[in-house]
Amino acid sequence: MTTEPVTIEIVSDMVCPWCWIGKRRLDSALEQLPDIAVERVWRPYMLNPDMPAEGMDRDSYLAAKFGAERLPRLHEPLAEIGRQEGIPFDFHAIRKMPSSLDAHRLARWARSAGVQPAVIEDLFSRYFEKGEDISDPVVLLDVAEQAGMDAAIVAELLAGDQDSDLVRREDDLARRIGVTGVPTYVINQKWAVVGAQPAESWLEILRRVAAGEDLSAG
């Protein structure tokens, strides 16, 4: 086994339900591989990069995207998959489709503070389980504080435009290198894995990488 840690860059968005499913599945695999050191780094991808700062009504957004006739049963398959992964999706609680720009800014600062995984999980939970507005500075400050970040510093950063352009550039870079859907995982800057892979797939992938195998070899 290699002694070098495995780095997984996770390109995702906090308003993407499959990204939360993917996180939980990867979490499950990592719990079963305590001897493999894995560093996870979340990278921004905005499903709605042109979403106004105030967001929009979520039902209107979904109706425009999928058709109003599909709304009543749109989330049933996802809700069932969520139950299998221990995720209590409550899609009816979500009233707003927010801009995720500030949530991505917070996630970036959380990495510097060493609490990025906890912040990411809390953002997913607040949006998909509790229906909270994760573009609201009050919500984001509470997420930061619960994770042990300095709320005063985060409040000051959120009040300005710190790292907004950087998040947008990273989002644009992801699109330019070929990311068209999330979650997308980049392993050791060599291999890309697309989609919310089952935990069993991650077990095989991580064991192979830790053993020094070339994933591109099949």
Query: What does the pLDDT look like over 62-101, one tens digit per residue?
Result: 999 999 999 989 999 999 999 999 999 999 999 999 999 9
Q: Helices (H), strands (E): how many in the chain?
A: 9, 6
Which long-range contacts (C-beta less than 8 Å, at least 24 apart) are formed by 157-160?
157/105, 157/109, 158/102, 158/105, 158/106
pTM confidence score? 0.95
Q: For a pLDDT cut of 90, what percent of the chain falls above it?
A: 95
Alpha-carbon distance of 196 to 202, in angstroms, equals 10
pLDDT 10s digits, 14-72: 999 999 999 999 999 999 999 999 999 999 999 999 999 999 999 999 999 999 999 98
Counting Cβ atoms within 10 Å, is residue 106 exposed (0-12), middle (13-18) or buried (19+)? buried
pLDDT 10s digits, 96-143: 999 999 999 999 999 999 999 999 999 999 999 999 999 999 999 999
214 secondary structure, DSSP code: -
